[in-house]
Amino acid sequence: MNSTRLFPRPDPALLVLTSLADGPKHGYALMKDIEAFSQVSMGPGTIFGCLARLEERGLVRALEAEDRRHPYELTATGLAVLHEQLDELGRVTATSKARLRLARPARPNGGRASG
């Protein structure tokens, strides 16, 4: 089963905030970074729409333009929101992994654990 069809893609805002977590980036660098760490391809319409939304809510801010393009960086609020979101995701991930260990579901190869 293709799990990407079952579950929606990660939220673009979360991907952008994550990408900015290690320092400022402009739009194109954001796209490449997100592609590298999440295999999600985002077009300029999505990226700048997302940046506008985040900027409006004070989660990111534009820096001085370099060669006619603005790098964006996380604000303190953006950093706090990212921590909050990741904590929430972390709780779900931890719970899910713990329950998987307890349940030990049958594997396609006859239930034998590989590796």
Partner 1 sequence: MAEAGRTAPGAGGRATVPLLGRIAVACYPQWWRARYGDDQLSFLADLRAEGRSVARVLPNLMAGAAWTRLSGTGMPATPSVWRDRARTSVTASTLAAMPLVILGLYATNRGGYWSGNGRLSSAARVAEDAGNLVFPALTLVFVMLLFGWRILISQARELRPGEARRRYFAAMATPFLAVASGLGLWSLASHVNPGIVTGGSFKISPTTHRFYDVTLFVSPGDPRLVAFLHAAAIVCGFGGWLLAAVLVGRAAARRGPASARAIRTGVWLSRIGTGATVLLSLAISVYVAALALQPWHLVANHSCDDLPRALWAAGTCVPYSAPAGGAVLTGPLEGAAPIWIVLALACAALAVVGTRIAGTSARKAALLDAP
Residue 103 Cα distances to 90, 106, 114, angstroms:
20, 9, 17
Q: Does 55 bind partner 1 (CB under 8 A)?
A: yes
Distant-in-sequence, close-in-space partners of 41: CB < 8 Å, separation ≥ 6 = 31, 35
Question: Among 14, 38, 61, 70, which residue interacts with partner 1 (rule: CB under 8 A)?
Answer: 70
Quote the CA–CA distance of 73 and 93 in Å, as a whole number: 27
Which CB, 39 or 109, lies closer to partner 1? 39
Q: Minimum distance from CB of 97 to partner 1 (Å)?
A: 28
How far is residue 56's CA from residue 58's CA, in Å, rounded to a whole number?
A: 5
Q: Which of 9, 11, 23, 88 binds partner 1 (CB under 8 A)?
A: 23
Binding range to partner 1, per CB under 8 A, among 4-12, 26-34, 81-89, 96-104: 26-34
Residue 35 engages partner 1 in binding (rule: CB under 8 A)? no
